Amino acid sequence: MERSADPELACPVTPVVDIVFSRWTTPILWALHEYGRQRFVELERRLTSITPKVLTQRLRQLERDGLVGRTYHAEVPPRVEYEITELGASLGPLFAHLTTWADAHLGEVERARRAYDAER
């Protein structure tokens, strides 16, 4: 099997990491999965540290990637709702596995960090 000289091309999970683990993607997907269809302002209230501009950008990117669906209701005033798509929900087992790993190993990571920092 020939390997690519470019490490980003050689690693098959790099595109997945770029899509799923960019800042705010996992909290947005979690909120939509946990609470269902939501309006922008509802997401904004749940994710208190995100700015409206960044939330808009992330939602657009997630919609572009097919992980989030956007429904526009032509009412007065207009209403827009977001929901996780089937493709977005298919990431559930990945997140569950990462949660299991975190529960089992984050303590070790913290201990390693403290040991490393103590040596410096």
Task: Provide the pLDDT for residue 105.
Answer: 97
Q: What is the mean pLDDT of residues 109-120?
A: 96
Burial class (CB in 10 A: 0-12, 13-18, 19+), 10: exposed
Instruction: Tell me how many degrees the CA angle 95-43-82 measures, rounded to the nearest 5.
Output: 80
Domains of the chain: 7-89 (1.10.10.10)
- Whole-angstrom distance, CA of residue 57 vs CA of residue 23: 11
Report whether pLDDT(65) > 80.
yes
Token pair in block for residue 65: 């990637």
Collapsing DSSP to helix, strand or coil, 82 comes out as strand
Task: Provide the pLDDT for residue 88.
Answer: 96
- pTM for the complete prediction? 0.80
Q: Which of 94, 106, 109, 113 is nearest to 21 (CA)?
A: 94
What percentage of the chain exceeds 90 in pLDDT?
74
